[in-house]
Amino acid sequence: MNRNAKIAAAVAAILGTVAGADSALAQVSNPPSLAAAAAATTNGVTLYIAGSSAAKNAVLGALQADICGGASNALTFSSTSNTNFFAVSCAPASGKAGADGNTYYTIYYRDEGGSVAGALPIVNNVSINQLDLTQISSCASSTVCNPVVVGGSTANGATDNFTGPVTQQPVQLGILDVEPAALATTNNYPKGYSTTVWGPTNPAGLVSLSSSATALFDEVYGIFVNTGTQATPPAPFTESPLLLSKQMVEQILAKSVTNWSLVTDVNGKPVNNSSLGITVVNREPGSGSRAATDLLIMGDTCQTAGKSLGGSTGYFSTSDVLAAANSVAGAITYATIDQSASNMTQVSLNGITPSNLAAATGQYDFWVEATVVTNPNASLSSLQKAFVSYFTSDLQAIATAPHLADVIANPSVGGNTAAVNTAGTASLTTVPGLGTATIYVNPFSRSKVTCALPSYAP
C-alpha cells in the first residue's frame, strides 16, 4: 500500500470511528429500552436510594418529571406481588444533574421497610435488596415495567429474603420521614430486624447520623379510619369526617379505648351508636410514619407523660398498612395526607381538617421534616455526586419540590426563606408534572428534631 493509500485508509478509519460514535449517540433516546436501562449499571449512571414510603410518590414523581422531563420519557419499574421496589431510567437532558444528554441514568428506589431502610444499612454498612434489571426479561410497554418480587413485608421484611429480580446493593442515599435519631428511640428502633442481615443493634449510629442529615421538605400526616365497610349492624358512623380530639386519638392508638361506641367527638357526641371494635393497624418499628405518630400524637419520648402506640406488630410500607386497614371495618392507622384508600377517611383533628395549608399557617401540627443522608462509606463518582446534589436541591426548592397534597416547602433550605408567608396565600401555583396540589412555604421549622416545638423561621 502506497503512502497516499495509507493516509486515505487512516482517514477512513477515523471517519468510521466518528460515524460509529455518532451512530451510538443517535441510539440514545427516551424512554430507554430495557437493555439500556439495565446497562446503565456498567456504562451509565446508577444510584441506589432507599427509605421513606410516605415520600415515595414525591421521589418517583420528581425523577420522572424533572430529571427525565416527564413520565413519557422514562422507563419506570414498579414491582408487583411485593409492591415496594422501583426504578426510573432515562437520559436526562444535557446539563441537568451533570448529565451530557447522551448517558442513561437508572435510579433505584426501595420503600420496603420505610425510613429504616434508608438509615440502618448506612450506619451498619450493609447491603440490602434492590431491583436487578438484568434479571428482567421483558416489560409491558415502553414506559412501564412490572417485575414480580416475591415475598411479603411481614414475613420477609425483617430478614430481607425477597426473591425474584433483586440483588443486594449498598444504600448510597437514604430518605427518611424524620431525622435518623427519631428511629433510635425505644419504641421506634427497628428491634424486629435481623441483626444478621441488617447489622448490629446501633441506636447510637442513628443518633450520630442525624448530624449529617439534610432537610428536604415537610410532610403532613393524618389519621385514617375505615368507615366504609361496616355491615348493618353495626350502624354506620354518625359523622364523616370524624371530628376527633388529639386526646381521643391518643387513647385509641394506645388501645385504652377499644370500641367505637365509646368514642365521642370534639363536641361530646358519639361517633358510632353500635358496637364496633377498633383495630389499630401500625407500621413496624423503624418506620418514619410510626415514629412521627408515636412522637407527635402520642407524645412518646417527647413528653414526660407520653404514651406509646398499641396494636398490631406492623406493616412495612404505607401502601401495605393502608391496604390492611382498608380491609377491616373500624380500623385506624396513619399516613401522609396524599394517600387514600376506598374505605378510609381522614380524621379532622381538634376540629382542623388536615391540609398542607393548615399546617403552613400553624393550625395543624401533625407534620414532620423529611431528611436525606448520603452514605459516607459509598464511593460515589463525580456524576453520582452531581446527581445527588442536583436532586437534593430539586426536592428542596419550592419551584421544583413535589406538588403533592402532603408537601410543604421547608423554610430553612432550597432558598425558600424569602417566600415565607403567614397569611396562607399560595406561594406557587401547580407545576405541570410535579403534582396537582398547590405548595406553600412552611414558616415554621423543627430544625431536624421531631420532638421540638416548631419555631418561626422567616
- Summarised one tens digit per residue, pLDDT across range 85-130 is 999 999 999 999 999 999 999 999 999 999 999 999 999 999 999 9
Residues with Cβ < 8 Å from 185, sequence gap 6 or more? 291, 294, 295, 300, 301
- Residue 433 is predicted with a pLDDT of 73
Q: State yes or no: pLDDT of 394 exceeds 70.
A: yes
303 forms bridges with which residues in the sheet? Answer: none
Per-residue model confidence as pLDDT tens digits over 2-18:
444 443 444 344 333 33
Confidence grade of residue 273 (pLDDT, cut at 50, 70, 90): confident
User: Is 221-360 CATH 3.40.190.10?
Assistant: yes
Q: In this structure, what C-alpha cell is assigned to residue 219?
A: 410532610
- Provide, rounded to the nearest whole percent, the portion of the chain with pLDDT above 70: 89
Q: Any idea what DSSP says for residue 331?
A: E
- C-alpha span between 254 and 257 (Å, rounded): 8
Q: With beta carbons less than 8 A apart as the criterion, state whether 398 and 410 touch.
A: no
Burial 18-46 (b: 16+ CB within 10 A, else e): eeeeeeeeeeeebbbebebbbbbbeebbb
Average pLDDT, the chain: 89
Per-residue model confidence as pLDDT tens digits over 225-250:
999 876 666 668 999 899 999 999 99
Confidence grade of residue 172 (pLDDT, cut at 50, 70, 90): very high
How confident is the model over 60-88, as a mean pLDDT?
Answer: 96
How confident is the model over 294-312, as a mean pLDDT?
Answer: 91
Q: With beta carbons less than 8 A apart as the criterion, state whether 29 and 366 touch.
A: no
Q: Which helix (H) or strand (E) element contains residue 153?
A: helix 153-156
- Stated pTM of the model: 0.90
Confidence grade of residue 400 (pLDDT, cut at 50, 70, 90): confident
- Residue 303 is predicted with a pLDDT of 92
- Residue 431 is predicted with a pLDDT of 66
Q: State yes or no: pLDDT of 171 exceeds 60.
A: yes
Tell me how far CA of residue 127 lies from CA of 169, 221, 304, 316, 430, in angstroms: 5, 30, 37, 18, 38
Per-residue model confidence as pLDDT tens digits over 406-450:
999 998 898 886 454 544 444 444 566 777 788 888 889 999 999
How confident is the model over 63-84, as a mean pLDDT?
Answer: 96
How confident is the model over 122-144, as a mean pLDDT?
Answer: 98
- C-alpha span between 452 and 218 (Å, rounded): 14
- Residue 11 is predicted with a pLDDT of 35
